[in-house]
Amino acid sequence: MKRMQCEMERGLRLETHKEASVKMLPTYVCSTPEGSELGDFLALDLGGTNFRVMLVKVGEDEERSWKVETKNQMYSIPEDAMTGTAEMLFDYIAECMSDFLDKHHIKHKKLPLGFTFSFPVRHEDIDKGILLNWTKGFKASGAEGNNVVGLLRDAIKRRGDFEMDVVAMVNDTVATMISCYYEDRSCEVGMIVGTGCNACYMEEMKTVELVEGEEGRMCVNTEWGAFGDNGELEEFRLEYDRVVDETSINPGHQLYEKLISGKYMGELVRLVLMKLVNENLLFNGEASELLKTRGSFETRYVSQVESDTGDRKQIYNIVSSLGHLPSTLDCDIVRLVCETVSTRSAHMCGAGLAGVVNLMRERRGQDALEITVGVDGSVYKLHPCFRERFHKIVWDLAPRCEIAFIQSEEGSGRGAALISAVACKMACMLTQ
């Protein structure tokens, strides 16, 4: 926790930002929605192999309370678009947008657009961000080092069959925080625990040295997945972690994320099971060809094993599908391995978040801090025990903070649209 805080401080300071593993990227999101931004907004959400387009209607109900309605559609991104050129990727995104606008009969409208882009970006303004590096299996050439919003605008222009006003680009953690703020005005932290793992929070402007200004607060995208890339986690990393890292597409990078996120959890379990087989402690010392295959133990199996009611049927079925006929003891060992890996993930993640909220409390000079954390992501939402273990560690490590957790619904898209609404309102105020 203390090491995380140290790297966060280094990321915020001009003189140490470049070397810091936790980059603490300014997002230029300073305002939070106050319930007065009305209208139709389009949101895009790109952060994994699926891409989402969403129409968000922000209005008022009969009691003049704020209400948000959404319609969305998911599109799968083909492998060649993920690993080809930036032009191919953004042309595909524009094609999906065109399809969505056709289906909802709104192609004639020029709507404000919020873009959730869940990769490391150095923002120069709320609608301008330079992609630092791809993660999560994306490798589209010609994007790194370029303005992502510019690439999207160029692709829309190339199509020429619709117009769009791109007013804001945000990270998924930021969008989650803003979406949850709509439910709870104390929400000043956003976190994702899914394929990847990251967090953002509202930091005092005077400590964000990469941006001019002293007053108020700005949302900072920690990009904490890279914590450990300078050796901060060495004594916590086991032989299995080293194998996962060495066989990944980005060896030596995102080491904290590799201890926590859903992308790696199943493979860590498989490597531990293989070690137990090799030491003749599991499956009579014999591993099936499937169990020997990298990626064969999917992260969803971890959730399913830990959801077993005690009759071991679920565990038996999963292990059988991997080419083994397990004994009762084998089933219990598989469960223990899953529990150990997922518990470590929850504890590591919890320690990081406790570091963030404790730092916020100290910054604000408060004896006690009441705060809400908005959370999204498949591991947090779908694993049967992760939430409970994670919450307990955060509460244990941040005893002077009263922390509530709120699960985001449609966070990434809705949050991006709400940030667009804020950006539009601010632009109107500036021109008046």
Give the residue numbers annotated as catalytic, written as ranges.
136, 172
In sequence order, the 6+-apart residues with CB closer than 8 A to the CB of 113 are 41, 42, 43, 44, 164, 165, 166, 167, 168, 420
Q: How far apart are CA 335 and CA 135, in angstroms?
A: 30
The closest of 77, 25, 69 to 46, measured between CA atoms, is: 77
- For residues 393 and 355, the answer to whether their CB atoms sit within 8 Å is no
Sign of the Cα torsion 285, 291, 293, 294 reads: negative
